Amino acid sequence: MENKVFYTAKEASEFLQINEKKLYVLAASGHIPATKITGKWLFPANELKQFLIRDALSRCPENIAPLLDQGFMLFAGSDDPILNRIFHAFHVEHPQLEVYYSCVGSFRGLELLGRHQCHVAFAHIYHQDTDEFNFYYADQYLAKDSYVIINLFRRDIGFVSRQPVRSFQEIRDKKLIFVNRQQQSGVRNLSEQMLRSEQLKDSDIKIFEQEMLTHFDVAQTVSQHENTVGIASQLTASQFDLHFHTLMEERFDLITYKESCLHENLLRFVNHLKNTIPSQFSDVQGYHFEVTGQTMIRGEGR
């Protein structure tokens, strides 16, 4: 199993040393990295290994801080299709440093950061009342003056579908099936806010049987099932030749404690964002890098 990109359920249960029934429960609830293709669960091998590392470290949080000194950085939170490319580019520039990332959703990332079980959280959670990203929700998990928010990029998010879709009311009227993201994700939070804005209830919308963990999973599912629609990035819509209707340009940020932000290894990552990412990824569809690497200021809106 050493060279496999994906494990089957049997292989993953052997790797994690749990029975398959427990494995399916963890996968369905979003507690371990997994994807479902044509009714069959697959488990990405590298992400499972990182999950084990993060879980082990979470049981001894006093060991987290010294890892920065040793060149290990633990990131957790939201998913984006270009994150792995960013991590790879950073590792090429700084091969002595290791980044371990767990895709668990924006809210879960903030929760882990608040419990000192990761060094950095990635989030893109929009709050309608303040018209801002991330500050309102970070305050729920972290002491208000204890953290900083630094932008990675801005990205276009919208409906992805096999036929044009512009609203949840249209989804309801056309009896389409909405492919939802997992609980504690930023896209899930956005969809719930949109339903309220359109004065709709959850029960007004047909929901796909399986919740998805990533933008890729949403777009792939929509491409494989007629009469479905989801919310994902413009990049994933183009990868599967789907219609894309922009909902917003959202801010995808890095959140960390102030003392961690001053550590030389984390500073290397931030400087890499500023100096390298805009030029390397300027041609990627649906992404904007004007404020990449800049510290975000509370009260300046989205």
Q: What is the side-by-side strand order in the sheet with 40-44? A: 6-7, 40-44, 35-37
Give CA–CA dist 237/177, Å, rounded: 17
168-193 confidence digits (pLDDT tens): 999 999 999 999 998 888 999 999 99
Backbone angles phi, psi at 73, to 5 degrees: -120, 125
Q: DSSP string of 109-165? A: HHHHHHTTS-SEEEE--EETTTTEESHHHHHHHS-TTSEEEEEEEEEEEEEEESS--
> Cα–chain-centroid distance for residue 147?
20
Token digits of residue 131: 């018209």
Task: Determine the topology of domain 157-249 in CATH.
Answer: D-Maltodextrin-Binding Protein; domain 2 (3.40.190)
Q: Indicate the range of 2-11, 51-60, 128-137 predicted with least confidence.
A: 51-60
Q: Indicate the range of 66-70, 151-155, 263-267 predicted with least confidence.
A: 66-70
Mean pLDDT score across all residues of the chain? 90
Banded model confidence at residue 58, pLDDT cuts 50, 70, 90:
low
Q: Please report the pLDDT score of residue 245 as a whole number.
A: 97
Backbone angles phi, psi at 255, to 5 degrees: -120, 130
Q: Please report the pLDDT score of residue 34 as a whole number.
A: 86
Q: Please report the pLDDT score of residue 65 as a whole number.
A: 76
Q: Please report the pLDDT score of residue 2 as a whole number.
A: 56
Please compute the mean of the pLDDT values over residues 39-66 and round it to a whole number: 72
Return the percentage of the chain with pLDDT > 70, whole number: 95
Residue 283 reports pLDDT greater than 60: yes
Domain residue extents for the chain: 6-153+251-288, 157-249
Asked whether 13 and 51 are in contact (CB, 8 A), the reply is no
Q: State the DSSP H helix or E strand holding residue 187, giving kind and residue range, or none if neither.
A: helix 186-197
Residue 62 reports pLDDT greater than 80: no
95-111 confidence digits (pLDDT tens): 999 999 988 899 999 99
Asked whether 266 and 185 are in contact (CB, 8 A), the reply is no
**CATH superfamily of domain region 6-153+251-288:** Periplasmic binding protein-like II (3.40.190.10)
Q: Please report the pLDDT score of residue 228 as a whole number.
A: 97
Q: Please report the pLDDT score of residue 73 as a whole number.
A: 94
Q: State the DSSP H helix or E strand holding residue 245, giving kind and residue range, or none if neither.
A: strand 243-257
Return the percentage of the chain with pLDDT > 90, whole number: 67
> Can 6-153+251-288 and 157-249 be said to share one CATH topology?
yes
Please compute the mean of the pLDDT values over residues 240-268 and round it to a whole number: 95
Asked whether 218 and 186 are in contact (CB, 8 A), the reply is no
Residue 1 reports pLDDT greater than 60: no
Q: Please report the pLDDT score of residue 53 as a whole number.
A: 66
Banded model confidence at residue 5, pLDDT cuts 50, 70, 90:
confident
